[in-house]
Amino acid sequence: MVKGVSKCVIEVNNTDSEYFERAILFVRPEKQDTHDDIVNYQAIRYLKSLGADKKRNNAKKKVYMFIMKLALMGSAGALVAFILMNI
């Protein structure tokens, strides 16, 4: 239940989440006079800090792990070749 008549509310319709279609944020009374662009930017920034942008981070992590696996396999192959050449 929302109490009070003079609440400033921001509704974010695109949350980039597979679970949530929108978010409703209440602006603090002392920040209600802040320019709309700044408040909107802060709202998006806040939602991203909650994990709304995790898909991009997971993709980066997968690429990093793939590169690390390739490097490990290359090192193992070089070690086996070195051992076989010195037998």
Residue 2 pLDDT > 60: no
Contact between 8 and 26 under an 8 Å Cβ cutoff? The reply is yes
Q: Give the per-residue pLDDT at 75.
A: 92
DSSP string, the chain: ----S--EEEEES----SS-S-EEEEEPGGGTTS-HHHHHHHHHHHHIIIIITHHHHHHHHHHHHHHHHHHHHHHHHHHHHHHHHT-
pTM: 0.49
* Positive or negative torsion for Cα 27, 31, 36, 40: negative
pLDDT at 63: 86
pLDDT (tens digit per residue) in 8-64: 888 888 777 778 888 899 999 888 888 888 888 888 888 888 764 556 667 778 888
Where in the chain are the domains? 1-52, 54-87
Token pair of 4, please? 């009070």
Per-residue confidence at 80, pLDDT binned at 50, 70, 90?
very high
